[in-house]
Chains A and B, each alone.
Chain A
Amino acid sequence: MIVWVLFCLFLSCVSGLGQSQLYGDEFHEELLLKQLPSGHVYSYFQFTTLWENGGDEPNHHCHLFPQSLSEVLHLYDVDEMHLSLTGGLWRHENWGYPVVSAPPGAELWAWFKEGTEDVDKKWTLLSNALSGLFCASLNFINPQQSLNPKYSFTPLGAYASASQNRSLLRYSTLPREIVCTENLTPFKKLLPCDSKKGLSSLLNAGNIHNANYHSLGIHVRPQCKDVHCLQTVLELKQTVSLVYDLIILGPESRDWSFRKLFGVGLAGSCPLATTSKIYVDTSSNGTSSVYTLTPDPTEFISSTRGGYNTLFAVYDIKKTNIITMFSISSTHKGPRVQSLNSPPVLHATRYIVGYGQEHGGIVTKVHNNHWKDMDIILFENIPWFLPIYYHTLKVTANGGKQVLTPYKKHYIPGRDRSRPYALELVVTLPPRSVTEIYVEFDYSFLKWQEYPPDANHGFYVGAAVITSILPHTKNYTGIPIDGSTFSSSINASRDSYPVTLHTEILLVTLPTPDFSMPYNVICLACTVVALAFGPLHNHTTKRLQMLDPSEETKGLLTTLRMRLKSFLCKSSEKKEETPVETKSSKSKTKESPQEEKLCESKPIIRKKVKASKSSS
Chain B
Amino acid sequence: MGSSDTFKSLCLEYGFALILRIWLYNSEFKATVSGRVEVSTPINSWKKVTEGVALYKDGINPYSGDMFHESPVGLVIYSQLIDQATPYLSAIFIIFDLLTGHLLYLTAVEYMKHLMRRQNEDKDEYSEEVKELLLTDKDVKRQPLYVVAAYLFNPYILFNTVAQTTTVFSNFCLAASFFCMVKGNRPVVCLFLSLATLQSLYPIVLIVPAAICIGYHTLPPVNKSKSVTSKLPKIYQKILPRALQSTNSDHWVRSMAATIGLFAAMTSSLLVLSCYISGGWEFVHSVYGFMLLVPDLRPNIGLFWYFFTEMFEHFRLLYLWAFQMNALVLYLLPLSLRTRRDPVLLAATLTGITAMFKSYPSLGDVGFYLALLPMWAHIFPYLQQGFIVLAAFIITSVLGPTVWHLWIYARSANANFYFGVGLAFAIAQIFLITDILLSYTKREFILRQVSGSVFNGKHRKLVLA
A residues with a Cβ closer than 8 A to B are 355-359, 384, 387, 389-391, 409, 411-417, 421, 442, 444-449, 511-514, 517-518, 521-522, 524-525, 528-529, 531-533, 535-550, 604, 607-608, 611-612, 614-616
Do B426 and A536 touch (CB < 8 A)?
no
Do A413 and B310 touch (CB < 8 A)?
no
Tell me if B399 is interfacial: C-beta within 8 Å of chain A.
Answer: no
Bound-state CA distance A550–B66 (Å) is 63
Bound-state CA distance A529–B303 (Å) is 9
Do A511 and B423 touch (CB < 8 A)?
no
Evaluate whether A607 and B461 lie within 8 angstroms (CB atoms) in the complex, with A390-B54, A445-B299, A612-B384 already known: yes
Evaluate whether A615 and B338 lie within 8 angstroms (CB atoms) in the complex, with A415-B66, A417-B295, A522-B307 already known: no
Do A522 and B310 touch (CB < 8 A)?
yes
Chain B residue numbers with a CB within 8 Å of A614 are: 463-464
Bound-state CA distance A148–B165 (Å) is 35
Bound-state CA distance A204–B334 (Å) is 77
Among A357, A550, A604, contact of B408 (Cβ-Cβ < 8 Å)? A357
Chain A residue numbers with a CB within 8 Å of B67 are: 387, 389-390, 413
A-B residue pairs in contact (CB < 8 Å), sample of 10: A390-B55, A411-B55, A445-B299, A445-B305, A446-B309, A511-B408, A514-B415, A518-B310, A522-B310, A522-B311
Pairs A-B, 9 closest by C-beta atoms? A413-B65, A391-B54, A540-B334, A535-B434, A542-B464, A356-B409, A521-B310, A518-B310, A525-B307
Tell me if B416 is interfacial: C-beta within 8 Å of chain A.
Answer: yes
- Residues B323-340 near A (CB distance < 8 A): 323, 326, 330-331, 334-335, 337-338
Interchain nearest-CB distance for A416 vs B (Å): 5
Interchain nearest-CB distance for A146 vs B (Å): 16
Tell me if B356 is interfacial: C-beta within 8 Å of chain A.
Answer: yes
Do B462 and A512 touch (CB < 8 A)?
no
Interchain nearest-CB distance for A48 vs B (Å): 42
Bound-state CA distance A391–B430 (Å) is 39
Stretch at the interface among B202-210, B267-275, B437-445: B437-445
Bound-state CA distance A612–B442 (Å) is 12
Among A355, A529, A547, A615, contact of B323 (Cβ-Cβ < 8 Å)? A529
Interchain nearest-CB distance for A371 vs B (Å): 33
Evaluate whether A529 and B326 lie within 8 angstroms (CB atoms) in the complex, with A387-B67, A417-B295, A545-B462 already known: yes
Tell me if B226 is interfacial: C-beta within 8 Å of chain A.
Answer: no
Bound-state CA distance A522–B461 (Å) is 37
Q: Which residue from chain B places its CB closest to the CB of A449 in the assembled complex?
A: B313
Q: Which residue from chain B places its CB closest to the CB of A546 in the assembled complex?
A: B460
Q: Interface digits, B396-440 against A, CB 8 Å rule (1 contact, 0 not)?
A: 000000000001110100111001000100110010011101100
Chain A residue numbers with a CB within 8 Å of B408 are: 356-358, 511
Tell me if B308 is interfacial: C-beta within 8 Å of chain A.
Answer: yes
Evaluate whether A389 and B461 lie within 8 angstroms (CB atoms) in the complex, with A528-B430, A539-B437 already known: no
B residues with a Cβ closer than 8 A to A are 35, 37, 47, 50-51, 53-55, 58, 60, 62, 64-67, 295-299, 303, 305-313, 319, 323, 326, 330-331, 334-335, 337-338, 353, 356-357, 384-385, 407-409, 411, 414-416, 419, 423, 426-427, 430, 433-435, 437-438, 441-442, 445, 449, 454, 458-465
Interchain nearest-CB distance for A74 vs B (Å): 35
Do A539 and B464 touch (CB < 8 A)?
yes
Among B51, B430, B459, contact of A390 (Cβ-Cβ < 8 Å)? B51
Do A546 and B66 touch (CB < 8 A)?
no
15 further contact pairs, Cβ within 8 A, besides A390-B55, A415-B65, A615-B464: A413-B64, A413-B66, A417-B295, A447-B309, A514-B414, A517-B310, A521-B309, A528-B430, A531-B427, A540-B337, A547-B462, A607-B461, A608-B461, A614-B464, A616-B384
| Interface SS of A by simple majority | mixed
Interchain nearest-CB distance for A148 vs B (Å): 14
Chain A residue numbers with a CB within 8 Å of B37 are: 358
Chain A residue numbers with a CB within 8 Å of B305 are: 445
Evaluate whether A543 and B326 lie within 8 angstroms (CB atoms) in the complex, with A391-B51, A511-B415, A528-B426 already known: no
Do B298 and A444 touch (CB < 8 A)?
yes
Bound-state CA distance A548–B407 (Å) is 53
Q: Which residue from chain B places its CB closest to the CB of A421 in the assembled complex?
A: B65
Among A389, A411, A525, A533, contact of B306 (Cβ-Cβ < 8 Å)? A525
Bound-state CA distance A448–B311 (Å) is 8
Bound-state CA distance A533–B299 (Å) is 24
Evaluate whether A511 and B407 lie within 8 angstroms (CB atoms) in the complex, with A545-B463, A547-B460 already known: yes
Q: Specify which of B55, B58, B463 lies most central, judged by the most chain A CB atoms within 10 Å of its CB.
A: B463
Do A546 and B462 touch (CB < 8 A)?
yes
Do A384 and B66 touch (CB < 8 A)?
yes
Bound-state CA distance A608–B50 (Å) is 56
Evaluate whether A514 and B437 lie within 8 angstroms (CB atoms) in the complex, with A414-B65, A445-B305 already known: no
Do B438 and A518 touch (CB < 8 A)?
no
Do A611 and B463 touch (CB < 8 A)?
yes
Chain B residue numbers with a CB within 8 Å of A416 are: 66, 295-296
Q: Specify which of B47, B356, B415 lies most central, judged by the most chain A CB atoms within 10 Å of its CB.
A: B415
Chain B residue numbers with a CB within 8 Å of A409 are: 58
Q: Which residue from chain A places its CB closest to the CB of B36 in the assembled complex?
A: A358
Bound-state CA distance A518–B314 (Å) is 13
Q: Which residue from chain A places its CB closest to the CB of B52 in the assembled complex?
A: A391
Bound-state CA distance A518–B306 (Å) is 9
Interchain nearest-CB distance for A597 vs B (Å): 13
Do A447 and B308 touch (CB < 8 A)?
yes
Interchain nearest-CB distance for A1 vs B (Å): 79
Do B384 and A447 touch (CB < 8 A)?
no
Among A391, A518, A538, contact of B312 (Cβ-Cβ < 8 Å)? A518
Q: Specify which of B307, B409, B458 lies most central, judged by the most chain A CB atoms within 10 Å of its CB.
A: B307
Interchain nearest-CB distance for A602 vs B (Å): 12
Evaluate whether A549 and B434 lie within 8 angstroms (CB atoms) in the complex, with A415-B65, A445-B299 already known: no
Do B353 and A532 touch (CB < 8 A)?
yes
Chain A residue numbers with a CB within 8 Å of B445 are: 544
Do A542 and B465 touch (CB < 8 A)?
yes
Q: Which residue from chain A places its CB closest to the CB of B302 in the assembled complex?
A: A525
Do A543 and B459 touch (CB < 8 A)?
no
Chain B residue numbers with a CB within 8 Å of A417 are: 295
Chain A residue numbers with a CB within 8 Å of B307 are: 521-522, 525
Chain B residue numbers with a CB within 8 Å of A550 are: 458
Interchain nearest-CB distance for A116 vs B (Å): 24
Bound-state CA distance A412–B434 (Å) is 47
Bound-state CA distance A544–B384 (Å) is 16
Bound-state CA distance A615–B442 (Å) is 10
Chain A residue numbers with a CB within 8 Å of B62 are: 413
Chain B residue numbers with a CB within 8 Å of A384 are: 66
Q: Which residue from chain B places its CB closest to the CB of A601 in the assembled complex?
A: B459
Bound-state CA distance A526–B461 (Å) is 31
Do B65 and A540 touch (CB < 8 A)?
no
Do B430 and A413 touch (CB < 8 A)?
no
Interchain nearest-CB distance for A375 vs B (Å): 21
Interchain nearest-CB distance for B242 vs A (Å): 15
Do A548 and B460 touch (CB < 8 A)?
yes
Bound-state CA distance A466–B454 (Å) is 87
Interchain nearest-CB distance for A540 vs B (Å): 4
Chain B residue numbers with a CB within 8 Å of A539 are: 338, 434, 437-438, 441, 464
Bound-state CA distance A412–B407 (Å) is 32
Do B465 and A543 touch (CB < 8 A)?
yes
Among A532, A611, A612, contact of B434 (Cβ-Cβ < 8 Å)? A532
Q: Which residue from chain B places its CB closest to the CB of A607 in the assembled complex?
A: B461
Chain B residue numbers with a CB within 8 Å of A538 are: 464
Q: Which residue from chain A places its CB closest to the CB of B450 in the assembled complex?
A: A546
Q: Specify which of B307, B435, B461 lies most central, judged by the most chain A CB atoms within 10 Å of its CB.
A: B461
Do B338 and A531 touch (CB < 8 A)?
no
Do A411 and B435 touch (CB < 8 A)?
no
Bound-state CA distance A538–B437 (Å) is 11
Do B423 and A525 touch (CB < 8 A)?
yes
Bound-state CA distance A125–B463 (Å) is 69
Chain A residue numbers with a CB within 8 Å of B60 are: 390, 411-413
Chain A residue numbers with a CB within 8 Å of B461 are: 546-547, 549, 607-608, 611
Chain B residue numbers with a CB within 8 Å of A387 are: 66-67
Interchain nearest-CB distance for A440 vs B (Å): 9
